[in-house]
Chain A
Amino acid sequence: MRTVYRGIWFGASLVLLLAGWEAVCRLFAIPPFILPPPSAVLLAVWDLREQLFGLHLWATLREVLMGLAASIVFGIALALAMNLSRTVERLVYPYIVISQTIPIIALSPVFILWFGYELSGKIAVTILFTFFPIVVSTYDGLRAADPEMVNLLRTMGATRWQIFAKLQLPASLPHFFSGLKVAATYSVGGATIGEWLGASEGLGYFGRRASGNFQAPALFASVLLLSVLGMLLFWLAGTIERRFAPHTRTNTPKQMKSQ
């Protein structure tokens, strides 16, 4: 019931925002190449639907999904390696922490230089954006297991593998998923910047071209689709989390009888 109320409130505020935006554009006669009214943006989405949905959305989605998938695979692998070997951890972890402070956008042209203007370059930039949140959150999650719980398992005669499989891995899932949610939203930004730096397709390329031609409604249309894409990926990560880390759920099973 609460979520229904929240939904109603959000819907109302959204309608209010769009109506206000539309009214401001019309009342003050703002030129559409500065700020197009929402109606013009939606119209642009409709007019350009074949280009946007037929070509550019798919191009960006492919970069995002491939980059994100690669980050998940390599990120988890590196986190596991650091968890398994103190040597790897000591060698690698400081650089992961330092790398968090480097402005990733500044590094993006370097990655394009190395990996080219093809698909591989965009995937590389997307990995650059999404790798660190996944490594850091997964590794922190693996280390987050309660040391008293580790000792309890040891008193039961657990092997190192059992401690990992029965305690560390499940305990790390909520951390991993919060990292994944961050990475899912970053991935869209990464792909967009990859496309800005040189591409022939994709929503980032499309938006930049529209901006150069002062086609504000088309630019806003691409921004809208990129935002929706980010939200969908975030929602997807949350859905997978609820499926695989059910203890973060707060609702109670129904079939409970009292003693």
Chain B
Amino acid sequence: MAVREKLAFAGVRFSYGEKAILDGFQLTVGRGELVSLIGPSGIGKSTLFQLAAGLLQPQDGEIRLDGEPAARRLGQVAYMPQRDLLMPWRTVVENAALPLEIQGMPRKEAQARVRQELPRFGLGGWADAYPAQLSGGMRQRVSFLRALMTGSDLLLLDEPFSALDGITRMEMQEWLLAMWQQTGSTMLLITHDIDEAILLADRIVVLLGSPISRPVELAVPVPRPRSLSSRSHPAFQALREQIWELLRQSTAAQPVGRYA
């Protein structure tokens, strides 16, 4: 396991003042795995990502990268935020080259590397366009490319498709599956869409309780390669029911919750 482990939370405690978010939290993500995180809104999914990325530090316990305790994780984990957060004054190429520039690569070299990648991301003719000229799906692809350009093989995706319309979203889900298979990256995906979680992931982590300590982990037995038609697979539907039931119980315990 020590070799295969990409990211691990071991006994992590974190609270905002009095409000404990995580306590004795355990989670292990294997190399090359695609794991979906699902849970009611406000339960602390974003906090979990901020901890993983190194923006926050655990108050107790440790976070490991590649099996080693990693106190400084900034610059080691790629993060794709919910909003695309593209800089309006930078073109597509300039936006995607940002992580390389920050790592100290000369601007020209960084942009040349990005240009090679653009066709694979369906952004072939758009290198010098500004974000305002792109559709929502294209902006998310630029944001995803930017995350990949960090060179990190661990990607945190925070509800990456929640702002997109239904059709674009389905296209992007299939596209993300293809990218995951090509790159072999480890991906952690926050979503509030149960179908999306099942369609994409090897494993689903249902975050429950306040504070969260031991999340419910469910393997996804739907065979790969998956496509949108996988939704009619019996295992898909059984899992969907099971997750619904878990979330229903949690909101019954906390009447103010909303499914997320």
What residues make up the interface of A, taking CB atoms closer than 8 Å to B? 146, 148-149, 151-158, 162, 166-167, 170-171, 173, 245-247, 252-253, 255-259
- A152-B79, A156-B99 as given contacts; A146 in contact with B85, CB under 8 Å: yes
- Taking A256-B129, A259-B126 as contacts, is the C-beta distance between A155 and B85 under 8 angstroms? no
Q: A148-B81, A166-B102, A257-B125 are in contact. Are A155 and B75 (CB under 8 A)?
A: yes
User: What CA separation (Å) do A43 and B223 show in the bound complex?
Assistant: 89
Taking CB atoms, residues of chain A closer than 8 Å to B90 are: 247
Q: List 24 A-B contacts (CB under 8 A).
A: A149-B85, A149-B87, A155-B53, A156-B74, A157-B74, A157-B76, A157-B103, A162-B102, A167-B87, A170-B89, A171-B87, A171-B89, A173-B89, A247-B88, A247-B89, A247-B130, A252-B129, A253-B133, A255-B128, A256-B126, A257-B125, A258-B125, A259-B124, A259-B125
How far, in angstroms, from A154 to B75 measured CA to CA in the complex?
7
B101 contacts partner chain A, Cβ-Cβ < 8 Å:
yes
The answer for the CA separation of A146 and B55 in the assembled complex, in Å, is 16
A171 vs B86: C-alpha distance when bound (angstroms): 12
A241 to B76 alpha-carbon distance, docked (Å): 37
CB within 8 A of A155: which of B55, B122, B126, B132? B55
User: Within 8 Å CB of B132, what residues of A?
Assistant: 247
How long is the Cα–Cα vector from A186 to B93 in the complex, in angstroms?
40
Residue of B nearest to A257 (CB): B125
Interface presence of B123 (CB below 8 A): yes
Residue numbers in A under 8 Å from B75 (CB-CB): 155-157
Q: Is the interface of B mostly helix, strand, loop or mixed?
A: loop
Secondary structure at chain A's binding surface: helix, strand, loop or mixed? Answer: helix
Chain A positions within 8 Å of B101 at CB level: 166
Q: Does B54 contact A (CB under 8 A)?
A: yes
Residue of A nearest to B86 (CB): A149
Among B102, B123, B129, the most chain A Cβ lie within 10 Å of the Cβ of: B102
Most chain B CB atoms below 10 A, which of A146, A154, A155: A155
Tell me how far the C-beta of B115 lies from the nearest C-beta in chain A, rounded to whole angstroms.
Answer: 14
User: Separation in Å of the B53 CB from the closest CB of chain A?
Assistant: 5
> Which residue of chain A is the closest to B79 with respect to CB atoms?
A155
Q: Name the residue of chain A whose CB is nearest to the CB of B53.
A: A155
- Distance between Cα atoms of A120 and B203 in the complex (Å): 73
Q: Which residues of A contact B98 (CB under 8 A)?
A: 153, 156, 166
Min distance, Cβ B185 to any Cβ of chain A, angstroms: 15
Binding site for A on B (CB under 8 A): 50, 53-55, 74-79, 81, 83, 85, 87-90, 98-99, 101-103, 122-126, 128-130, 132-133, 150
| Residues of B close to A157: CB separation below 8 A | 74-76, 102-103
Cα(A155)–Cα(B89), bound, Å: 21
By the criterion CB–CB under 8 Å, are A155 and B54 in contact? yes
CA distance A246 to B126 in the complex (A): 17
Residues of the A chain whose Cβ atoms lie less than 8 Å from the Cβ of B81: 148, 152
- B150–A170 touching, CB < 8 Å: no
Residue of A nearest to B55 (CB): A151
CB distance from B9 to the nearest CB of A (A): 17
Contacts of A252 in B (CB 8 A): 129, 133
CA distance A256 to B127 in the complex (A): 9
Q: Which residue of B lies closest to A245 (CB)?
A: B89
A183 CB to closest chain B CB (Å) equals 22
Residues of B within 8 A of A171 (CB): 87, 89
Bound together, the chains give a CA A158 to CA B78 distance in angstroms of: 13
Q: Is the CB of A253 within 8 A of B83?
A: no
Q: Given contacts A252-B133, A257-B125, A259-B122, are A152 and B150 in contact (CB under 8 A)?
A: no
Q: How far apart are the CA atoms of A167 and B85 in the complex, in Å?
A: 11
The listed residue (A155, A247, A259) touching B74 by CB distance below 8 A is A155
The residues of B that contact A148 with a CB separation of less than 8 Å are 81, 83, 85
